[in-house]
């Protein structure tokens, strides 16, 4: 942590920024809150930045995430972090029926909420993710924004664990 706390803002953003999908503004806005006691303290500060952001910035963060087993995965244009996470959930080994189910559910979710379905893939396997779609489709938009931000927090914690360990 001492090394992270000593980084300049651009260095900090370069190292910590990838914890939040294509959203370096979070690390940039959190950098002045240094020093961080430990990784949990850093994670709390980063999540606080997200929670205190405007709804527009929060939606920008949510929209930065790709669909699970979506077109970006098929085109191999996901971030390295998302590629690894989707692979760990088995989303690179879907049967044709599962792929069709993901596509149908992703589209239904997008049509209802106007942002992608977000779940921490590293904490779920493809079967659990597929079971989550109908439950979450029953939620309100406000509930899903809250849920998406909670899931993003879980994703960021695991990514931070990888960053701090290496």
pLDDT digits (tens, 9 = 90+) for 60-107: 999 998 878 776 566 566 677 887 888 888 888 889 999 999 999 999
Cα dihedral 20, 21, 25, 27 sign: positive
Token pair recorded at residue 82? 């998302």
Per the domain annotation, does 132 fall within a domain?
yes
Per the domain annotation, does 27 fall within a domain?
no
pLDDT band of residue 42 (cuts 50, 70, 90) is: very high
pLDDT, residue 76, reads 66
Question: Is pLDDT at 28 greater than 90 in this prediction?
Answer: yes
Per the domain annotation, does 121 fall within a domain?
yes
Looking at 43, 65, 84, 139, which residue is catalytic? Answer: 65
Token pair recorded at residue 112? 């209802």
Per the domain annotation, does 22 fall within a domain?
no
Residues spanned by the domain of 141: 67-80+89-152
Question: Is pLDDT at 139 greater than 90 in this prediction?
Answer: yes
pLDDT, residue 73, reads 60
Q: What is the pLDDT of residues 99-128, one digit of tens each?
A: 999 999 999 999 999 999 999 999 998 899
Task: Note if 65 is an active site residue.
Answer: yes
Per the domain annotation, does 157 fall within a domain?
no
pLDDT band of residue 11 (cuts 50, 70, 90) is: very high
């Amino acid at each position: 942590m001492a090394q992270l706390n000593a980084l300049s803002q651009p260095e900090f953003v370069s190292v910590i920024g990838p914890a939040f999908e294509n959203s370096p503004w979070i690390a940039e806005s959190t950098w002045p809150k240094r020093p961080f006691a430990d990784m949990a303290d850093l994670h709390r500060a980063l999540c606080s930045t997200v929670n205190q952001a405007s709804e527009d910035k929060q939606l920008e963060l949510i929209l930065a995430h790709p669909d699970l087993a979506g077109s970006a995965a098929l085109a191999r244009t996901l971030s390295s972090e998302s590629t690894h996470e989707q692979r760990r959930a088995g989303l690179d080994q879907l049967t044709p029926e599962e792929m069709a189910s993901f596509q149908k559910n992703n589209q239904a979710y997008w049509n209802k909420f106007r942002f992608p379905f977000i779940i921490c893939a590293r904490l779920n396997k493809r079967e659990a993710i597929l079971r989550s779609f109908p439950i979450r489709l029953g939620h309100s938009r406000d509930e899903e924004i809250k849920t998406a931000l909670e899931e993003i927090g879980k994703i960021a914690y695991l990514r931070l664990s990888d960053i701090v360990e290496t």
